């Protein structure tokens, strides 16, 4: 039997669920399969970055995630059992804080969103092989009853982890190395009176001069933490560990975790109510390309690295967000030639930077780069500095040097702006409330400064007009907001007659001052197919 679909997403972890939910949100058809019969219930990834929460807000899941998580306040460091420093974790400017949310909750929230969009994960279904041609991908699936199914998909998205069948099928390289250490993870309750919301890092020097670390990350629930520590020699795999969670050996018992706690934490607080445990190894690798033809890889299928700074799952979910809106346009038949190539162009350098940074952090047991300010480090770890300045989808047209200086540059994240007002609303709104798909923001201090709004509205993107506070209500036929608090002008450094094109993933695609209809139209040809 052969069936068809728009996109076949392989893997229903956080990255695959994100890819599928974003495809559906943008109106694309997809199927999601996962070889496991049920979610794992693992607390493997536990940190959600502010940038991910911004994306989740646009998806409509940020509220559910926040309700299920714990805000991280900072970290307390201990050296040889003595507190050696506290690092507070403030909320980055105009965005969310850092959220501790175990992977099983991330998967629940995204699965529920996907189901509301009309798509259910097909479990116990495995991708066995695939081929592709100029028009699509033919995938062979094995169903739970052992029967085979042939699926004809326009595109294939591999979110199937470090041992990705999709990556192997494409013949992509996955260069890197592994760390020799093997670790233990445990999701437990700890009987102590430590301040809630803080990551606790214990570090003791071993007799041979090495480090003996223990990291405790708070989870939802009273005194519940995800503990990470070195595995004792008798539990380690001969020849060194593989990457990720070990599935062919049992997780450590509670008493093995307690042994490490007794050795490293004064007072030997008791552990209890073990929900989950595992052994795991760490590698660092990155795919030579993030796709070939009509098949792509995201998340661990494309890059793996140490968990320092909770970068992995967040980077993978943002891979999926970047790819999904482009695939949705391609499935609608309106994508410009080469649009899908920009997925690798934009996201692979991000993966390279994250792999390099986390490896460096893991080897030095530090967070942050030499000479980097605390504010810059915070924004980088929050993934607010991810940008695509060299992308073909990033451009500008400025009338004078210095125009829009201080505002977000092409390829950078579009910041929020608060205090906007709209007719009929007795309360202010945020810019993020008004963004939808591709949004072209036209800012002006007068109606005359807008020019011919109808010509802008006739294009393939949604138009939003933002006016200075004292401009009378115009009749434009497009959504209008007033910059009553001046926040948009300040955040975007907008003068009279400025235009900003915001992409569906929240990045600035193009900016112009003064408004240049021809330049914007020409730039949009890099994204949207144009019939000459």
pLDDT per residue as tens digits for the range 8-57: 999 999 999 999 999 999 999 999 999 999 998 888 888 999 999 999 99
Question: What are 381-411's pLDDT values in tens digits?
Answer: 889 999 999 999 999 999 998 999 999 999 9
pLDDT at position 236? 82
Q: Where are the beta strands (DSSP E) in 50-168?
A: 70-71, 74-79, 82-88, 99-100, 122-123, 126-133, 136-142, 148-158
What residues pair up with 100 in beta bridges, in sequence order?
Answer: 47, 70
Question: What are 142-160's pLDDT values in tens digits?
Answer: 999 999 999 999 999 999 9
- CATH dotted code for 2-62+97-174+285-381: 3.50.50.60
Question: What are 157-211's pLDDT values in tens digits?
Answer: 999 999 999 999 999 999 998 888 889 999 999 999 999 999 999 988 877 767 8
- CATH dotted code for 395-524: 3.40.30.120
CB 166, CB 160: distance < 8 Å? yes
Q: Is the pLDDT of residue 524 over 80?
A: yes
pLDDT at position 179? 84
pLDDT at position 150? 96
DSSP-derived letter for residue 104 is H
Residue-averaged pLDDT of the chain: 92
Lowest mean pLDDT among 254-258, 343-347, 425-429, 446-450: 446-450
Q: Is the pLDDT of residue 531 over 70?
A: no
**Which distant-in-sequence residues (6+ apart) come within 8 Å of 299 by Cβ?**
11, 13, 14, 15, 16, 159, 161, 312, 313, 315, 316, 317, 319, 320
pLDDT at position 489? 96
In the chain, where the domains are located? 2-62+97-174+285-381, 176-281, 395-524
pLDDT at position 209? 66
Record the tokens describing residue 108, joined without a space.
């629940």
Record the tokens describing residue 331, joined without a space.
């499935």
Lowest mean pLDDT among 4-13, 163-172, 258-267, 361-370: 361-370
pLDDT at position 240? 59
Residue 435 vs residues 136, 139, 414, 441: alpha-carbon distances, Å: 32, 36, 10, 9
- Helix, strand, coil % (nearest 5) of the chain? 25, 30, 40
pLDDT at position 277? 93
pLDDT-derived band at 368, boundaries 50, 70, 90: low
pLDDT at position 248? 75
Crossing angle of helices 50-59/312-332, nearest 10°? Answer: 30
Whole-number Å distance between alpha carbons of 522 and 509? 12
Q: For 176-281, give the CATH class.
A: alpha beta
Q: Give 332 or 530, the one with higher predicted confidence.
A: 332
Q: Is the pLDDT of residue 321 over 90?
A: yes
CA angle, 280 as apex, 275 and 284 as ends, to 5°? 140
Lowest mean pLDDT among 95-104, 276-285, 390-399, 418-427: 276-285
DSSP-derived letter for residue 413 is B
pLDDT at position 208? 74
User: Residue 250: phi, psi to the nearest 5?
Assistant: -70, 150
**If 0-12 CB within 10 Å is exposed, 13-18 middle and 19+ buried, where does residue 195 land?**
exposed
**If 0-12 CB within 10 Å is exposed, 13-18 middle and 19+ buried, where does residue 517 land?**
middle
Q: What is the pTM of this model?
A: 0.94
- Can 2-62+97-174+285-381 and 176-281 be said to share one CATH topology? no
Question: What are 51-86's pLDDT values in tens digits?
Answer: 999 999 999 999 999 999 999 999 999 998 888 999
Q: Give 94 or 403, the one with higher predicted confidence.
A: 403
pLDDT at position 242? 67
Helix (H, G, I), strand (E, B) or coil at 243: coil
């Amino acid at each position: 039997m052969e069936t068809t679909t728009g996109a076949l997403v392989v893997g229903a972890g956080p990255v695959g669920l994100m890819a599928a939910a974003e495809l559906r949100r943008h109106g694309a058809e997809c199927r999601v399969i996962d070889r496991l019969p049920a979610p794992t219930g693992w607390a493997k990834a536990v940190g959600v970055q502010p940038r991910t929460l911004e994306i989740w807000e646009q998806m409509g899941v940020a509220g559910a995630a926040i309700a299920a998580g714990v805000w991280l306040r900072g970290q307390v460091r201990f050296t040889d059992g003595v507190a050696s420093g506290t690092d507070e974790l403030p909320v980055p400017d105009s965005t969310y804080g850092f959220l501790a949310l175990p992977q099983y909750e991330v998967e629940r929230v995204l699965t529920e969103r996907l189901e509301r969009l009309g798509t259910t994960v097909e479990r116990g279904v495995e991708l066995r092989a695939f081929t592709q041609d100029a028009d699509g991908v033919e995938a062979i699936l094995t169903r739970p009853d052992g029967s085979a199914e042939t699926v004809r998909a326009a595109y294939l998205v591999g979110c199937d982890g470090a041992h990705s069948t999709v990556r192997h099928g494409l013949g992509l390289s996955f260069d890197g190395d592994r760390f020799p250490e093997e670790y233990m993870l445990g999701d437990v309750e700890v009987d102590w009176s430590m301040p809630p919301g803080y990551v606790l890092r214990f570090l003791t020097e071993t007799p041979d001069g090495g480090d003996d670390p223990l990291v405790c990350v708070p989870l939802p629930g009273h005194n519940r933490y995800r503990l990470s520590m070195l595995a004792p020699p008798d539990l380690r795999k001969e020849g060194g560990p593989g990457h990720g969670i070990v599935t062919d050996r049992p997780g450590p018992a509670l008493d093995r975790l307690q042994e490490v706690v007794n050795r490293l934490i004064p007072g030997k607080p008791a552990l209890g109510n073990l929900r989950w445990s595992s052994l795991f190894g760490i590698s660092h690798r990155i795919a030579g390309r993030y796709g070939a033809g009509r098949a792509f890889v995201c998340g661990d299928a494309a890059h793996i690295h140490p968990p320092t700074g909770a970068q992995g799952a967040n980077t993978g979910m943002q891979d999926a967000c970047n790819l999904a809106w482009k695939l949705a346009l391609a499935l609608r038949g309106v994508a410009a030639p080469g649009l899908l190539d920009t997925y690798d162009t934009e996201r692979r350098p991000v993966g390279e930077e994250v792999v390099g940074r986390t490896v460096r952090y893991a080897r030095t047991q530090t967070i942050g780069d030499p000479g980097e300010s605390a504010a810059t480090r915070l924004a980088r770890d929050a993934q607010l500095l991810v940008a695509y300045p060299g992308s073909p989808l990033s451009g500008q047209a400025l009338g004078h040097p210095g125009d829009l200086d201080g505002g977000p540059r092409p390829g950078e994240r579009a910041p929020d702006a608060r205090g906007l007002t709209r007719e009929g609303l007795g309360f202010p709104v945020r810019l993020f409330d008004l963004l939808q798909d591709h949004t072209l923001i036209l800012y002006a201090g007068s109606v005359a400064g807008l020019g011919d709004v109808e010509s802008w509205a006739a294009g393939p993107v949604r138009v939003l007009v933002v006016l200075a506070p004292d401009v009378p209500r115009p009749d434009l036929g497009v959504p209008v907001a007033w910059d009553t608090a001046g926040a948009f002008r300040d955040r975007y450094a907008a003068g009279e007659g400025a235009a900003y094109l915001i992409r569906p993933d929240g990045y600035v695609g193009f900016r112009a001052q003064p408004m240049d209809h021809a330049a914007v139209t020409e730039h949009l040809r890099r994204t949207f197919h144009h019939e000459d």
